[in-house]
């Protein structure tokens, strides 16, 4: 057990990885390394990589208060238009799993596997019915996270098959979460996994929540969450959260293309590294010889 842990804030990613490689720090906490940096770190004598499975949940939120995403047909078309398996291959190089627009991680006991399939022709049909046959949208991204832009470009490529023109716009990383997130109609973002399913739905999808990044509001969905929270039978409560997942997939404004493994850089002297939610185990971590 360590006597103390010192934390430092280093905004620049290259400076962070440089400090690790130079032996100035032992761990890059809450940092998902890009693949190129991860390869450099893994090849060094001082540092290595820990892979945390399904640690990050990536989202393309559509603001349901802004046109054209006020129309559920457009939201469904945006989801049917792209292939999550293509995005996992292109953006993650296979280091993750398709999300199929379900925010509950695939290794969560509450996760349901049922989902609509990639169907660009049905997406075209829905857009035509909604009066958006030649839909063009801006998708905002930034260098804030190394996977935002690869995910956005992979979505752009995949959605072409449904006739959707996606213009990828790169915004400043410094102001991304103050000027873009929850302000632009379509953007890239991510969350750490590890939340209990009740917290996940009530924090991110309930009407009026300050973290409801799509501003989606559905009294029926809120009532379903209330019923699930009050249910004392485990099997019945799990079924209700399964219904909530279907509701989000079919009606909500959040596209979940993928769950990504987080690539964490750490010194080869670190032992006992483990994560719980989005924090590492402060009590279990240690250093060789300490």
pLDDT score recorded for residue 121: 97
Question: Can you tell me the distance from the alpha carbon of 21 to that of 192, in angstroms, rounded to the nearest whole number?
Answer: 25
pLDDT score recorded for residue 30: 75
Tell me where in the chain the CATH 3.40.190.10 domain(s) lie.
Answer: 13-53+262-287
pLDDT score recorded for residue 130: 97
pLDDT score recorded for residue 290: 62
Q: Tell me which fold the domain 13-53+262-287 belongs to.
A: D-Maltodextrin-Binding Protein; domain 2 (3.40.190)
pLDDT score recorded for residue 262: 83
pLDDT (tens place) for every residue of the chain, 290 residues total: 788 999 988 877 788 899 999 999 999 987 778 888 889 999 999 999 998 888 889 999 999 999 999 999 999 999 999 999 999 999 988 789 999 999 999 999 999 999 999 999 999 999 999 999 999 999 999 988 889 999 999 999 999 999 999 999 999 998 999 999 999 999 999 998 888 999 999 999 999 999 999 999 999 999 999 999 999 999 999 999 999 999 999 999 999 999 998 888 999 999 988 877 667 888 888 898 76
pTM more than 0.75: yes
pLDDT score recorded for residue 223: 98
Q: Tell me which fold the domain 55-194+254-259 belongs to.
A: Dipeptide-binding Protein; domain 3 (3.10.105)
The three-state DSSP-derived secondary structure of the chain is: CCCCCCCCCCCCHHHHHHHHHCCCCCECCCCCCCHHHHHHHHCCCCEEEEEEEEEEEEEEEECCCCCCCCCHHHHHHHHHCCCHHHHHHHHHCCCEEECCCCCCCCCCCCCCCCCCCCCHHHHHHHHHHCCCCCCEEEEEEECCCCCHHHHHHHHHHHHHHHCCEEEEEEECCCCHHHHHCCCCCEECEEEECCCCHHHHHHHHCCCCCCCCCCCCCCHHHHHHHHHHHHCCCHHHHHHHHHHHHHHHHHHCCEEEEEEEEEEEEEECCEECCCEECCEECCCCCEECCC
**8 A C-beta contact, residue 96 and residue 107:** no
Question: Can you tell me the distance from the alpha carbon of 243 to that of 247, in angstroms, rounded to the nearest whole number?
Answer: 6
Tell me where in the chain the CATH 3.10.105.10 domain(s) lie.
Answer: 55-194+254-259
pLDDT score recorded for residue 275: 79
pLDDT score recorded for residue 86: 95
Question: Can you tell me the distance from the alpha carbon of 163 to that of 260, in angstroms, rounded to the nearest whole number?
Answer: 28
């Amino acid at each position: 057990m360590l006597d103390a842990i010192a934390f430092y804030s280093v905004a620049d990613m290259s400076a962070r990885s440089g400090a690790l490689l130079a032996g100035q720090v032992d761990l890059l906490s809450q940092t998902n390394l890009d693949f190129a940096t991860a390869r450099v770190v893994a090849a060094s004598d001082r540092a290595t990589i820990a892979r945390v499975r399904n640690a990050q949940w990536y989202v393309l939120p559509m603001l349901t208060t802004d046109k054209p995403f006020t129309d559920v047909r457009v939201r469904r078309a945006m989801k049917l238009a792209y292939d999550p398996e293509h995005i996992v291959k292109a953006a993650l190089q296979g280091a993750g799993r398709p999300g199929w627009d379900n925010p509950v991680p695939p290794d969560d006991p509450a996760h349901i596997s049922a989902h609509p399939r990639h169907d660009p022709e049905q997406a075209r049909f829905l857009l035509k019915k909604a009066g958006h046959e030649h839909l063009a949208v801006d998708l905002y991204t930034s260098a804030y996270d190394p996977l935002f832009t690869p995910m956005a470009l992979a979505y752009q490529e995949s959605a072409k098959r449904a006739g959707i023109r996606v213009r990828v716009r790169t915004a400043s990383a410094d102001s991304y979460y103050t000027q873009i997130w929850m302000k632009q109609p379509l953007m890239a973002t991510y969350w750490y996994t590890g939340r209990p399913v009740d917290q996940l739905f009530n924090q991110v999808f309930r009407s009026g929540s300050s973290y409801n990044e799509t501003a989606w509001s559905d009294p029926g969905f809120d009532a379903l969450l209330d019923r699930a929270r009050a249910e004392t039978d485990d099997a019945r409560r799990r079924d209700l959260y399964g219904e909530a997942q279907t509701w989000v997939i079919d009606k909500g404004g959040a596209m979940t293309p993928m769950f990504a493994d987080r690539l964490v850089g750490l010194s080869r002297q670190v032992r006992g590294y483990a994560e719980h939610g989005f924090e590492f185990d402060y009590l279990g971590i240690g250093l060789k010889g300490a």
